[in-house]
Structure formats: C-alpha cells, structure tokens
Structure 1
C-alpha cells in the first residue's frame, strides 16, 4: 500500500489532478486483507472487533466498503467521490475471498468496472491474492483465471501462502508499469526482503505447478462445493 500512498502524494499534492482533496480507501464488504495498520483498516471482516477494542479505529471515516459484485454500488462510490470532493487512493479486492466470506468470487464485470473506474480517476487497484493464489483457480494471478485472460491487469497484486508452500515466510507483490513508476528508493524497506531461502521455496512451488495439478485443483474444488451443497440439503447431517 506504500505505492498507493506515493501515488496519492502526486495526485493530491501541489499541481496534482486532485490537489488538496482528502483521501479515502475503498474495499469490499466482508473483505480480509491483513492485521497490520492499513491492511487492517480495509478488512471489513474484522472491523467490528477492531472498532470496539482499538483506539486507532475509533470514529474513522477514511474507509468505504462496497458489496462484492454490485456494479451499481461501485459506480455510486466513485460518483460520490466526485460530488463530495475526495480522492479514492486505493481500491482493494480479493479475487476469491478467504475468511470473510469463503469462496466469494469476483465477477469479470465487477473487476472490469473497478479497473476502469480506478484508471479514470487515477486511483490504484490492488488485487489481494494472498488467500487465493493457486488454491482458488489453479493459477497464480487473476489475469490468468478462466474468463479473465484478456482483462487489464491491476496496478498491484499480492501473493503469499499458496506461493510459499503454505509455511515459509514469503510475500510477493507484482506491480504494473504505472505502479512501479511510483516507487522511490527509501519509501519502503523490509528485513526479510529477497531472502534467498524464501525465493528458493517459491521457485520450487512454481516448478511443481503442472497442467495436471492445475486441473486437479479446479476439479477438487468443484467436488468439495458439491459435497457441501449436498450436506446443506441433508437435514440429518446438519
């Protein structure tokens, strides 16, 4: 999210397209993006507990949540930003939700609308694939999902758990050319960045992702959903 912050400095700073405007973050209802400060702010699934127990979340008004796949509501948020004079710094979404609403998938129409609105307004679009990644569709990025192959890429996409064999400390962020151009040396640092052993783990995982494994991920996922639906309909089980 530091890249989005840098972009906002350009957009709302002196001479910027949105000069002087206050900023807000946009995320999806039920979303989960993490527990550190800014990711926690856009994690609707945890907001009730955070607002009750953490002072920094008290009476905050810098985050907007909109329902997943509700195109009209999404358009209304950006229209409101224009009318009220604030800048949407970042829109974040999970392609397949994890703990907030497990299995909830973003539709192509909703994604394309989000991509278009962010581009038109100078906002950054972040796809959080940390809880999805290979486990959701058998491919790493949303732009490789079935039906998404020809979509415009997000500005940023993050990966971790499916890429690190589910256990080795590693996270990766992919940047578009636009996002990469906002990076300035000194605005980000990490003790474990480019850890050689972590990178070897990721390479080993990727080397094992064969077409047969991708197919198996999709088939087992469909099988699991079918069994859950069967259990849901069987009153003797529930």
Structure 2
C-alpha cells in the first residue's frame, strides 16, 4: 500500500533530534528554525519532557473523559497561572483545527446564530467549519462551502461594522498574527474595536492562538499585547511540544452543559502530561524572557541584511520578506547549509518558528548561512 500523496516532501529523513537540532539517517545535523510548523516549543527531546512522558505511559496512558482526570485540573491551574487568563474555563481536544471547530460550534450554540466572519489570508484549519473560515478555496470541499462565512480585509473596521450590524454573525474569528498568511498583524485599535463591536451586536470574538500562543511571541498569548479579552481562545501547536493536544479557553459568561462539546482522545493522560511539562519548562527556564532577548538580537542582526525588505511578526514568530520568491533560497538553506525554515502564502516570505530555547549563537549560524546563500543568488 502506498501513501496518499498530498505532501510535497524534502528529501530528508530525520531519525533523531535534540533541542534545536535534527539529525538525518546519515548523521547530518540540521538547525531547526521551523519547529515542525511552530510545534516544538521547549526543544526536541527535552530531558524532563521525555522522562515525564515515559513515566506516564508506563503508569496510565489513556482513559476516556468519563472518569476523573486530575491531570486536566492541574493543567488548567498551571495554564491560568502562566497565561493570567483567570476569566476562562478549559476544554481540551487534539489539534488546532479541532480547537477552532469547537470554538465556532460553541459560538453558534451560545448566540443562536450561524454566520462566521473571517479575514483574508486567514488559516484556521482543515475541518468542516474551520476550513470554510480559511482563506484558501483550494482546500474547501463542496460540503464545507455550504456554511456561511464572509471574508473581509484584515483590519477593515468599516466592513466589520457593516456585517455585524446585520445581527446574524455568531463569531468573528481572527489570528492575532496571521501565520500561513504571512505574519501580518492588525493594530491595537482594530482589535479593541472588534471586541467592542462583537459585544454590541451579540457576536463572539475568537482569538486563534494556535500558532502564536504558548509564549511564541514573548507574551503568553499574542492578543495580550493589545489589551483585549476574547470570548474564546484557541490553542494547539506548541502546547504539547510534539504530542497532539489542543484546547480552547472559554469565557465564563458562556455556560457549559453535558454533551455540549465532547472528544474521545482530548485531554488524555499523556497529552496533559506533555502540556504540563511544556508549561513547567517555560516557567522554570524563563523562556518568555529568552524569546524577547533572542528575538531582539535576531531582528537587529537581520536589519543589517539589505536584501530583507521587511521583518514581520513578534518574538520567535518571525517572517523575513524579500522582493523575490524564497523557494530556491529555502532549498539552499536546507540542502547546503542544513537549516530548516518555513514558507507562507506570501511567496517572498521566509518564516522563522524555532523552539523557544533558541540562543543567540544559533542566530549567528543562521545569519552567516543566509548571507552566503544570498550572495550565491546574486551570481
């Protein structure tokens, strides 16, 4: 049996990894500045992470949500402490798409409305409602397209006002920093206005923090810079450092009832152990501070490279924008300099999404490689 061929693959086969490095079957070392789509938050094979997961799987790896699971309570408590999101309750699932799916579903339940407002260049996942709120018609099947969604320009207050005033919108869903779309971020004024408009017209504001959450921007959540309080916050990727886990934080004004949401695997013992270890490591190793320091160093270094026309994003969620497509540059970096980076919907943007443990010396390695690769492009 062959694999269903939906992924274009680099000809590299990783067999092990440690902190910010990945090693292939030939023993070649790669500097990982992409973290598998921003998933690796505390470094590959972090010793505490490995130890705690091994211990948990040897004790109790899984049981359903029909029994007590104190690890879920511990995760909620630790998450509240580090994120300072005291006004929320936690529902756990398995992925970012599932988190957004539950967020949209919950918003529709709560408001009794059916329409979604999303933004151009958005990416919220590939499941039923999440994919229709994603600005990519190529991945929206006819069965998805029947759902009601309106796309507007990111940051367009007038368009948002006009749509919400019709009174049929259950949710406005927005990435605070667009990931796949190309690292764009709207203004604080826009986010605050969106919050006010949702309150005025009876819609819920969903902050998609799947990629930007769990410390990636230097704040625990990216929305916190803007001083807003979303109704629902979705999260995943860096939440488990590679173990599948997602979740939503639900404002306490939204009431729970039995059967409203549900999942078989969400919040299982291994997933909670993984996420607890991520949170403890972020706290114990001062990774939020490290993100700010290394990000500042990274931006300062890249500011001296004339070919870079713009630096987007915050923290260790960064995009380097050139005035040419970066596909060949990215291949050069991976095959000749052994550095993983990412792409985006913007063909000229190189995405940087490393572990939050990245150090300044790793940045120096990248800057040296990028400079050489750019020189080669001129030849």
What TM-score do the two structures reach when normalised by structure 2? 0.50
Asked if 1:171 is matched to 2:246, the reply is yes
Aligned equivalent of 2:132, options 41, 54, 69: 41
Match of 1:133 in 2: 213
Structure 1 residue 8 displacement after superposition: 2.6
Structure 1 residue 136 displacement after superposition: 4.3
Asked if 1:215 is matched to 2:292, the reply is yes
Aligned equivalent of 1:124, options 195, 204, 222: 204
Match of 1:17 in 2: none
What TM-score do the two structures reach when normalised by structure 1? 0.77
Asked if 1:95 is matched to 2:176, the reply is yes
Match of 1:26 in 2: 117
Q: Unpaired runs of 5+ in structure 1?
A: 13-22
Structure 1 residue 61 displacement after superposition: 6.7
Match of 2:258 in 1: 185
Higher normalized contact order (CA 8 Å, seq sep 6+, divided by chain length): 2
Structure 1 residue 70 displacement after superposition: 1.9
Structure 1 residue 185 displacement after superposition: 1.0
Compared CA separation, residues 133 and 223, structure 1 to 2 (3 A): farther
Compared CA separation, residues 221 and 162, structure 1 to 2 (3 A): farther
Q: Which has the higher helix share?
A: 1
Q: Deviations over 1:80-108 (max 9, x none)?
A: x1xxxx51111100011111x22111321
Structure 1 residue 224 displacement after superposition: 7.7
Distance 1:61 1:173 in 2: 22
**4+ aligned runs moved over 3 Å, structure 1:** 223-228, 233-238
Q: Which has the higher strand share?
A: 2
Q: Unpaired runs of 5+ in structure 2?
A: 1-103, 311-320, 325-373
SS at match of 1:3: helix
Rg larger for: 2
SS at match of 1:137: coil
